[in-house]
Structure 1
């Protein structure tokens, strides 16, 4: 089998409507660490120790067009993995109480397999999936 030329995701850059609100979501809710910032851009760099996210502020959030997964080309969603179904269930309960989070669907089986997943819109307008592999 031939190996791919690339070696995994280095980072993912997301343009958001409110960079501080999105940064706070990752740091305060998902326990990411802020590992850098570029105030003049502005941008924050946050990481869970495996995945690095670059959060960019939209220049004019009021006129920015939110992504529509049915009509736009671009990031449909991104997925982060948690350590199991119990963590996913607890996180779902926590996320329900956050005003700027929209839960698309609660934890459910992914396809026909034992992996669980849920989908949500995070502060800043990005669609995110959380997955809990079968143990």
Structure 2
């Protein structure tokens, strides 16, 4: 039996706190649920998952994460209700100029019942969205 009970929250260091907050609140419908102005951060939640968005001190000199060479968060995966919502979300995010789409919805592996797509949110963190087919 595990000693842990699931994820309480995930903390993400971001180069632009306002842009990152806007992505989660405006594009994904998260609610702002707190923060710490003295250590610039905003807490957002979808009612199930809470994220802490931390403003890095010097975005101009920050090194972008490279999933092939760095240790750290490869991506954050979030579930959506179904394949239709996955397709709709992809279409909405394609229209945003602050989001980079890595690939369109497709089976997670050939023939799988789970479909997914990945995008880069403002600041470059990779977000995967998944849904049952």
TM-score, normalized by the shorter chain, greater than 0.5: yes
Write out the 4+ residue segments of structure 1 that deviate beyond 6 Å after TM superposition: none
Shift of 1:77: 0.4
Corresponding position of 2:73: 75
Name the count of aligned residue pairs: 132
Output the CA distance in 2 between the equivalents of 1:4 and 1:110: 28
The aligned counterpart of 1:11 is: 9
CA distance in 2 between partners of 1:25 and 1:71 (Å): 26
> How far is the alpha carbon of 1:124 from its aligned partner?
2.0
Q: Which residue number in structure 1 is paired with residue 119 of structure 2? A: 120
- What pairs up with 1:17-56 in 2 under 5 angstroms? 17-56=15-54
Structure 1 residue 8: deviation in Å?
A: 0.6
What SS is found at the alignment partner of 1:36?
strand
Distance between the aligned counterparts of 1:124 and 1:10, measured in 2? 23
1:16-72 deviation per Cα after TM superposition (whole angstroms, max 9, x unaligned)? 010100001100110000000211110000000000000000100000001000010
Deviation at 1:76, TM superposition (A): 0.4
The TM-score, its normalising length taken from structure 1, stands at 0.95
Where structure 1 has 5 or more consecutive residues not aligned to the other structure, the ranges are none
Give a deviation string over 1:79-130, Cα, whole Å, max 9, x none: 0000000000000000001111000000000113111100110012211100
In structure 2, what is the Cα distance between the partners aligned to 1:124 and 1:70?
18
TM-score, normalised with respect to structure 2: 0.97
Q: 2:107 aligns with which of 93, 104, 109?
A: 109
Q: How does 1:94-105 map to 2 (within 5 A)?
A: 94-105=92-103
